[in-house]
Amino acid sequence: MGKHLVLVGGGHAHLTCLKKLKDFVERGHTVTVIGPAPHHYYSGMGPGMLAGTYRPQEIRFNIQKMAEAGGARFLQGVVVRIEAAAKRLVLATGEQVSYDVVSFNTGSGIPLQSLRIAPEAKVFTVKPIEQLLTAQALIKERLKKQELHMVVAGGGPAGLEITANLWRLVVRLGGEANLTLVAGRRLMGDFPERVRSLAQASLTARGVEIVEGAHLQEVQTNLVVLRDGRMLPFNLLFLALGVRPSPLFQDSGLPTGPDGGLLVNDHLQSVRYPEMFGGGDCIYLQSRPLDKVGVYAVRENPILYHNLLAALENKMLRRFQPGGAYLLIFNMGNDRAIFWKKQFVFEGKLAFWLKDYIDRRFMRKFQVSGELTEA
Ligand SMILES: Cc1cc2nc3c(=O)[nH]c(=O)nc-3n(C[C@H](O)[C@H](O)[C@H](O)COP(=O)(O)OP(=O)(O)OC[C@H]3O[C@@H](n4cnc5c(N)ncnc54)[C@H](O)[C@@H]3O)c2cc1C
């Protein structure tokens, strides 16, 4: 007899399931996909979209269309509670959805609880990626009227790419802006020294001020206060600080990792509830905690696809092997990029060409027809 599978969040780890929904439906199962919006944005191209290098429709997946084309139901909404013992989800609207098997791919966000932010301050978090579109529109409007002071907080890959692509946006619009990157302890401090020095040289050559050894303490309406007492004036602030899963799993009393992610075994299955799975930034893999990068979400796709089908039909589950070193290419907003894989690092136009090629190929792989050319 057919069962009910619910996919919560149409993120990077669910794309294979979304593309192959017919495999579930043709076996007699019912599938519901829940997400806050019809589109899911690909973060790898997010900074490029901010700069205007990509149009929004080039970097997003229409998960509603994917769901409906595969014979599933798309339910627009946000899951706010999991009642695991009753196999039930509660949405922000109060609506309840029961499941036989459920999989979470709800991603991560920037936790703001520990930071005091004045309500009038213009602050954007770099996730969800859609926020970057709102920021772009605001910059376009304000640049016509004033010189902007923009501060980016976060010295990791997201902060680096956002800063570099804000520069590109300003140049493209023919405006003027002061750009400051507050890099925490050290810009790209988790990467080899060569990545760091290339990133630093690229930004400083364009007039970006990089502040190291400093963390945000408080955000006043037009002033960022650092823990060491320094103050930076700003009109727009971007927060690219370390991401964390939403408190959904902790709040629902499920076993979680130290970051609040759903604690899963090597089958990407909750350590307590065998009918519950997950992938991407929202999980904490018990045997080997993973970096919060899209690469792992993408690698998890075939395992989630297999194991969700297997869980519906009481078949053998497969183990997820995280694999070896991964590649990251940082879009520096000037048609150049920094390529990093283990100790192999280089900068230039070729690196950007490669990133653009890989990203566009990924988008085509999971795109429903007609979307990329949508107006
Ligand atoms: C600016 C930026 C650039 C990056 N570039 C790269 C890169 O080049 N390469 C790389 O490997 N990584 C990159 N990353 C990291 C990457 O974004 C994450 O690792 C990746 O997004 C994780 O994918 P995900 O599917 O788990 O989560 P997400 O992409 O966050 O997707 C989660 C989905 O779930 C939905 N959702 C959330 N909460 C709920 C809920 N309660 N109910 C229902 N639906 C919900 C969201 O709307 C979203 O569609 C970048 C991150 C940032 C911020």
CB 7 within 8 A of CB 14: yes
CB 272 within 8 A of CB 132: no
Domain of 104 in residue numbering reads as: 4-36+77-108+244-326
Q: How long is the chain? A: 375
Residues 315 and 334 in one domain: no
Residues 199 and 254 in one domain: no
Nearest CA to ligand 1 atom 30: 107
pLDDT higher than 90, residue 374: no
pLDDT tens digits, residue range 260-283? Answer: 999 999 999 999 999 999 999 999
Residues 177 and 304 in one domain: no
The number of distinct structural domains making up the chain is 2
What distance in Å separates the CA atoms of residue 215 and residue 150, rounded to the nearest whole number?
16
In ligand 1, the atom with minimum distance to the C-alpha of 12 is 25
Answer yes or no: is the C-beta of 35 below 6 A from any ligand 1 atom: yes
Answer yes or no: is the C-beta of 165 below 6 A from any ligand 1 atom: no
In ligand 1, the atom with minimum distance to the C-alpha of 13 is 25
Please give the biggest Cα pair distance in the chain. 65
Answer yes or no: is the C-beta of 355 below 6 A from any ligand 1 atom: no
Nearest CA to ligand 1 atom 10: 294
What distance in Å separates the CA atoms of residue 51 and residue 359, rounded to the nearest whole number?
16
pLDDT at 371: 61
In ligand 1, the atom with minimum distance to the C-alpha of 292 is 19
Answer yes or no: is the C-beta of 105 below 6 A from any ligand 1 atom: yes
Test site for ligand 1: of 62, 293, 295, 366, most ligand atoms within 8 A of the Cβ: 293
pLDDT higher than 60, residue 375: no
Residue 277: C-alpha distances to residues 175, 287, 301, 332 (Å): 48, 15, 12, 36
Q: Which of 124, 111, 127, 122 lies closest to 36, judged by CA?
A: 127
Residues 167 and 282 in one domain: no
Is the residue at 90 inside a domain? yes
In ligand 1, the atom with minimum distance to the C-alpha of 246 is 38
Answer yes or no: is the C-beta of 297 below 6 A from any ligand 1 atom: yes
Answer yes or no: is the C-beta of 281 below 6 A from any ligand 1 atom: yes
In ligand 1, the atom with minimum distance to the C-alpha of 107 is 27
pLDDT at 212: 95
What distance in Å separates the CA atoms of residue 278 and residue 257, rounded to the nearest whole number?
13
Residues 351 and 284 in one domain: no
Residues 125 and 228 in one domain: yes
pLDDT higher than 60, residue 372: no
How many angstroms does the Cα of residue 75 sit away from the middle of ligand 1? 19
Test site for ligand 1: of 7, 15, 33, 43, most ligand atoms within 8 A of the Cβ: 43
Mean per-residue pLDDT, 365-370: 76
What distance in Å separates the CA atoms of residue 358 and residue 244, rounded to the nearest whole number?
26
pLDDT tens digits, residue range 70-123? Answer: 999 999 999 999 999 999 999 999 999 999 999 999 999 998 877 899 999 999
- Does residue 247 have a cis peptide bond before it, meaning omega lies within 30 degrees of 0? no
pLDDT tens digits, residue range 213-263? Answer: 988 999 999 999 999 999 999 999 999 998 999 999 999 999 999 999 999
Residues 84 and 174 in one domain: no
180, with CB counted inside 10 A (0-12, 13-18, 19+), is buried
What distance in Å separates the CA atoms of residue 107 and residue 243, rounded to the nearest whole number?
9
Is the residue at 231 inside a domain? yes
Contacts 24+ apart (CB under 8 A), 249-256: 249/82, 249/104, 249/282, 251/81, 252/81, 252/82, 252/83, 252/84, 253/84, 254/82, 254/84, 256/284
Helices first, then strands: H and E counts in the chain: 10, 24
pLDDT tens digits, residue range 159-192? Answer: 999 999 999 999 999 999 999 999 999 999 999 9
Confidence of residue 369 (pLDDT cuts 50, 70, 90): low
Answer yes or no: is the C-beta of 78 below 6 A from any ligand 1 atom: yes
Mean per-residue pLDDT, 333-347: 97
CB 139 within 8 A of CB 148: yes
Mean pLDDT of the chain: 95
Residue 229 identity: G
Residues 320 and 288 in one domain: yes
Residues 180 and 120 in one domain: yes
In ligand 1, the atom with minimum distance to the C-alpha of 243 is 53
**CATH number assigned to the domain comprising residue 231:** 3.50.50.60
The two tokens of residue 2 are 């057919």
